[in-house]
Structure 1
Amino acid sequence: MPQSDPSTSTRARHAEPAKEAGAPEPAGNRDAFFDNAKYLAIVLVAVGHAWEPLRDDSKVVTALYTTVYAFHMPAFIIISGYFSRSFDAAPRRIQRLVTGVALPYVIFEVAYTLFTRWSDQAPDRPISLLEPLYLTWFLAALFIWRLTTPLWRIVRWPLPLALGVAMLATMSSGIGEDLDLQRALQFLPYFVLGLCLKPEHFELVRHRAVRVLAVPVLVSAFAVAYWSRPYMSPAWFYHRDSAEEIGAPALAGPVMTLAVFGCSTVLVVCFLALVPRRRMWFTALGAGTLYGYLLHGFVVQGVKPFHVYDYVHGPLGVAAVSVVAAVVVTLLCTSAVRRVFRFAVEPRMAWFFEAAAGRRTTTAPSPQRRVGVE
C-alpha cells in the first residue's frame, strides 16, 4: 500500500467501481480501513453472543449488550450495502449471489438445524429453508437486499422509501417467520444507506473532531442503555419483532424505527471514527469475517450442553468470556480455517454454471463494449 499520502490513496481506491461483499479481490487492492472495520464488527458480534446468557445476572452486561447491538450489525450491513453498489443483476453477479449467498444459506441452514438438534436437545427439529435458523437470517436478508439493489439505485428517494418500508413492517405483526422477513425489512434502511454513501462520506469520519467525540458518545449510549433498561425494551434494536410483539402500540413502531435508526447511525459513525486506517495485525482477517460470523455460531451452540456459564461469575468471568469469544472468532477468520471451509462459505460451483459461461463466451460483445459493462 503506498505510504506517501494515505488519504489520497484511500480516495483513489474508493473511486473505482465498488465490488460486492464476498467477491475475490487481490490483497493489494483491499482498503485496510474496511477490513479493519469488518473484523472489529465481527468481534463485537461474537462477544455480544457470548454475553447473551449473562444478561439476567448483570445490569452492566445488559447495558453493554444493548449498546453493542445498537450498532454492530448496522455497521456490518452499511458496509455490505456500500460494497453492493455495483450489483446490476448481470449474469456474473447473479452467479456470485448464488454461490456467495444463496448456496451458503442452504448449507448452513441444514448444518445448524442438524447441530442444534443435539445442542438444544431437539431431535425432532425440522429442516426448513424458509425459516432461517440462528445466524443464517443475515444471508437470507442479504440475498433479498442485493436482489433489490437495482431498484434502490434508480428511485429518487431511496433512503426515505426504505425507512417507510421498515416503519410499515413494525406495524405488521402478521408478517411471519418466512425468510425472517421482519428482520430483513427493518434492517433494510441500513443497507440502503450503504448504497447511498460515497467515498467522501467515509472521509468525514477521519476528522479529528469526530474521533474526539466518538468515545464520549459511546459512553453516553452505554449510560442511557443502563438507565433506560426498566423503561424501554432493547428488542427495538434487534429488529426481529413488530411493535405489538414487543408489547408496544402499533403506532409506536414508526416512531421507534426513526429513533433507533438515528441512534444506531450515530453510533456507527462513532465506531467507524475509531477504526484504524492503517494496516494492523488483524487487517487481513477482515477478508474472512463471513467465515467467523457463520462458524462461531457452532461454538456458541456447542457449549450449551456443558453448562459452562454455570461457572462464570462476576466481572472477571465476563471479561474471560469476552476474551475467549474474541479469540475464537479471530481464529475462525484466519486463512487456514478459510481454506478448510471454503467449500461451504464460498463454493465455486463452476460445473453448474459452465454451460452458461460457454454461451456468454460465444456471444460475448466486443472488448470496447465489455469495458463499459465491467
Structure 2
Amino acid sequence: MAVQIGLLVGYFGQIGQSFSLSRTFVFFPFFLLGYWVTTEQVMWLRRKSVRIISIFVMAAVAIGIYYAPEIKTGWLLASKSYGDLGLPQYGGIARFMVYITAGIMAASILAWIPRKENVLTALGSRTLYVYLLHGFFIQFFRETNFFNVNSVFDLPLLALVATFIVLLLSSKPVLGVWQPFIEGKMSILKKTLTQKRAGENAS
C-alpha cells in the first residue's frame, strides 16, 4: 500500500515540494522496510552468492549512470510530479523501476556492511540527522554557487566537503540541539547537563 501511494502521488501536481509531501510519500516505503527488517534478514544478504551478485548489480548500475547522464535527478529527489518530469502518463512505471533499482542497490550495499563495530558504527547510527539536515548545506551551495563540480579533479574536494558535513551533522552538539525536533526527546541535553553538574559538584 505504501508503494502504491508513492506511485500515485506523482500524478498530482498539487503534491510537490511544500512541506516535502511528495518526498514523504515516495520515500516512506523505504523507512517502513527499514523498520520491519530484522537482523537475520540483513545477515542473509552477507551470503557469498548474494555478494557476488551484488558486484554485478553495482557495476551494471554504474555503467548505466555513466552512459545515461541525462537522467533527470527529479526521479531520485521525488519532489516533482510526473508531468514536471516529462512523463505525465507513464511516470508510475518509471517510478516503480526506480523503486526496484533502489531496493536492489540497497541490498547490494548491505551485503558488504561489516559485522564488527568500528569507528564508523557510531556515525552510522546518526544518519537520520545527516539525512534531514544536509539540505541546509545543499540549498546554500545552490543559492551562492559556492562549490561547483566541473571536472574529475573536483571530486576529491567534493568528497572532503561531504565528509565534513557528515561529521558536523553527526556531532553531539548538533544532535543535542536537534534531538527534540527529530526524535521528540531531550536525552542528550539532559545527559550533558547532568555530567556538567556532576563535574561542577566534584570540583
For normalisation by structure 1, the TM-score amounts to 0.44
Change (3 A) 1:269 1:348: closer
1:321 and 2:158 equivalent? yes
1:197 maps to amino acid: V
Q: Structure 1 CA distance, aligned partners of 2:19 and 2:44?
A: 36
- For 2:15, which of 172, 175, 179 is the aligned residue? 175
- Tell me how far 1:303 sits from its aligned partner: 5.3
Structure 1 residue 347: deviation in Å? 5.8
The CA deviation at 1:295 is 4.3
- Using a 3 Å threshold, how does the CA distance of structure 1 residues 203 and 336 change in structure 2: closer, same or farther? same
* Contact 1:176 1:182 (C-alpha < 8 Å) held by counterparts: yes
Code of the aligned partner of 1:223: I
**Alpha-carbon distance in structure 2 between the residues aligned to 1:234 and 1:271:** 21
Q: Is the 8 A contact 2:123 2:170 kept in 1?
A: yes
Within-5 A mapping of 1:164-313:
164-230=4-70, 232-250=71-89, 252-302=90-140, 307-309=145-147, 313=150
- Per-residue CA distance 1:104-127 (angstroms, 9 max, x = gap): xxxxxxxxxxxxxxxxxxxxxxxx
Q: How far apart, CA to CA, are the structure 2 residues paired with 1:245 and 1:164?
A: 20
Offset of 1:343 from its aligned partner?
5.7
Distance in 2 between the 1:275 and 1:337 partners? 26
SS in structure 1 at match of 2:78: coil
Aligned residues: 187
Asked if the contact 2:179/2:186 (under 8 Å) is kept, the reply is no
CA 259–307 in structure 1, closer or farther in 2 if over 3 Å, else same: closer
The structure with higher relative contact order (CA 8 Å, sep 6+) is 1
Letter in 2 for 1:237: L
Please state whether the residue corresponding to 1:247 is helix, strand or coil. Answer: coil
CA 343–172 in structure 1, closer or farther in 2 if over 3 Å, else same: closer
Q: Distance in 2 between matches of 1:343 and 1:192?
A: 22
Alignment of 1:20-59 (within 5 A): none
Whichever residue aligns with residue 169 of structure 1, its letter is: V
Matches of 1:324 and 1:178 in 2, distance apart? 28
What are the superposed Cα offsets for residues 246-292 of structure 1, whole Å, 9 maximum, x if unpaired? Answer: 11132x12211321111110000011112222111111223333333
Tell me the CA shift for residue 301 of structure 1. 4.3
Q: RMSD over aligned Cα, in angstroms?
A: 2.9
1:333 maps to 170
- Conserved 8 A contact 2:8-2:92: yes
Q: Where do residues 60-71 of structure 1 align in structure 2 (5 Å cutoff)?
A: none
CA distance in structure 2 between the aligned counterparts of 1:296 and 1:188, rounded to whole angstroms:
19
Query: Residue deviations 1:117-153, cap 9 Å, x none?
Result: xxxxxxxxxxxxxxxxxxxxxxxxxxxxxxxxxxxxx
Runs of 5+ in structure 1 lacking a partner?
1-160, 351-374
Answer whether contact 1:293 1:329 (CA < 8 A) is retained: no
- Identify if the C-alpha distance between structure 1 residues 347 and 200 changes in structure 2 by more than 3 Å, giving closer, same or farther: closer
Q: Residue 257 and residue 344 in structure 1: after superposition, are their counterparts in 2 closer, same or farther (change >3 A)?
A: closer
- Determine the structure 2 residue equivalent to 1:4: none
210-219 vs 288-297, which deviates more? 288-297
TM-score w.r.t. structure 2 length?
0.74
Alpha carbons of structure 1 residues 330 and 212: separation in structure 2 relative to 1, 3 Å: farther
The match for 2:195 is none
- 2:16–2:80 contact (8 Å) kept in structure 1: no
Post-superposition shift, 1:207?
0.6
Indicate the percent of aligned positions where both proteins have the same amino acid.
Answer: 27
Structure 1 residue 307: Cα displacement: 4.4
